[in-house]
Structure 1
């Protein structure tokens, strides 16, 4: 049985990083990337842990195994990951500064659990775990990641804007 909860142990954070490694472009073939999607950011354990202290990550577990995650990235981490700095700049252009939002820093579901509603349930759980006063989840998707774009659209994300940064086209999306 799959449960959805906030990460609260070192082991769970390590399992998030293990799942992340399996889904980075350096560990996938071009065919796998097209069919199953891919991740863009590789987190350090230290940063993942810091982020979890401020706003705990949402995880899906089957028994003791993390089989999916949605990372919570509080806006105070806007300058921590180089490739995400432009995203925060674009967010500030289209979202009022006093409008509380959480960035979903990355979402991933283990290959064996895809197509079973885990993606949708991770977001549903993440919304219930948002700190008081936070009303939106914002993220961005590499425009080439068609699987991720379609999955986000299917659960109600809408595009705030598209922009080009560091050689890639990005879709900045929001769920309210």
Structure 2
């Protein structure tokens, strides 16, 4: 079958995102899987996903009715909804990228990207981000996200696409080292 890229349209698709997310949290996979296949950090709930999607639709990849992957658009107004991302948002208030203070706007946070295990290695990650860029370029200049340093698969995939690390920090509450990265669309 063919992979179809689109935006989330209903709760059924949001529930599919939550199911795929749950399968890729560090608590659901082995350390070896996390190291070789990557992982997601944030566990969302349906209400937050609904509101995030209503503010700006997230991108999904589907094969028929099966969810192959997703990219969650997270506008800055949702920062208080996801406490685990508080250190990121606090840092972003103080940072600049390419000489431009992030407080000036023109960007959003990639809330999370995930590709189902059966679909990895088939270009879905790049397809999700390309579709996201097409949908978001009229409204935003770039996208910002953070990736745990130990999530080497995700870091490499983001770099191949064009993301650049512009800041790293250590989160004292988790001991995790994070790379804050951005992808310029202009």
| Correspondent of 2:114 among 108, 115, 119 | 108
Equivalence map 1:13-28=2 (5 Å):
13-28=14-29
Equivalence map 1:1-176=2 (5 Å):
1-95=2-96, 96=101, 97-130=103-136, 132-165=138-171, 166=173, 167-176=175-184
C-alpha separation between the residues in 2 aligned to 1:131 and 1:56? Answer: 14
C-alpha separation between the residues in 1 aligned to 2:74 and 2:14? Answer: 14
Report the alpha carbon displacement of residue 99 of structure 1 after superposing the two structures with TM.
Answer: 2.8
Partner SS for 1:93 = coil
Partner SS for 2:104 = coil
C-alpha separation between the residues in 1 aligned to 2:19 and 2:84? Answer: 21
Report the alpha carbon displacement of residue 128 of structure 1 after superposing the two structures with TM.
Answer: 1.3
Name the stretch that deviates more: 93-102 or 150-159.
93-102
Instruction: Judge conservation of contact 1:7–1:13 (CA < 8 Å) in 2.
Output: yes
Report the alpha carbon displacement of residue 66 of structure 1 after superposing the two structures with TM.
Answer: 1.1
C-alpha separation between the residues in 2 aligned to 1:9 and 1:174? Answer: 29
Aligned structure 1 segments of 4 or more residues deviating by more than 2 angstroms:
none
Report the alpha carbon displacement of residue 131 of structure 1 after superposing the two structures with TM.
Answer: 6.8
Aligned length: 176
Report the alpha carbon displacement of residue 102 of structure 1 after superposing the two structures with TM.
Answer: 1.3
Name the stretch that deviates more: 111-120 or 131-140.
131-140
TM score, norm. by length of structure 2: 0.91
Instruction: Judge conservation of contact 1:102–1:130 (CA < 8 Å) in 2.
Output: no
**Structure 1 gap ranges (5+):** none
Report the alpha carbon displacement of residue 85 of structure 1 after superposing the two structures with TM.
Answer: 1.0
